[in-house]
């Protein structure tokens, strides 16, 4: 159940971010292998994603019966080189 809810949360975060970034101009990107996103877009995605992960980790993510259980081992993403993400433990 938690994994399905997390996937739904990540899908929502991705759609929300896509809508927010739709009209922003592209800039050159120097520190990532994916040149389709600017550094500013990447940071917005990372911040939005970590906010959602923090809500879940602290047990503040609502579901149909109240709130989801908090995570015991949730990490904050600090880089967006997919497949090689750097992670640090979320402070709770």
Specify the pLDDT at position 67. 93
Q: Is residue 26 part of a domain?
A: no
From CA 71, how far away is CA 46, in angstroms rounded? 19
Domain residues for 12?
2-20+32-89
Q: Which regions in the chain score pLDDT beneath 50?
A: 25-31, 82-88, 90-92
Number of domains in the chain: 1
Residue (of 19, 9, 14, 7) closest to 62 by Cα position: 9
H helix intervals, the chain: 2-21, 39-57
Is pTM beyond 0.75 here?
A: no
């Amino acid at each position: 159940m938690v994994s399905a809810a997390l996937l739904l949360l990540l899908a929502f975060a991705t759609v929300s971010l896509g809508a927010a970034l739709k009209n922003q101009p592209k800039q050159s990107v120097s520190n990532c292998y994916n040149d389709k996103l600017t550094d500013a877009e990447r940071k917005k995605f990372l911040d939005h994603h970590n906010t959602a992960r923090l809500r879940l980790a602290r047990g503040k993510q609502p579901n149909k019966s109240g709130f989801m259980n908090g995570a015991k081992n949730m990490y904050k993403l600090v880089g967006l080189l997919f497949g090689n993400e750097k992670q640090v433990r979320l402070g709770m």
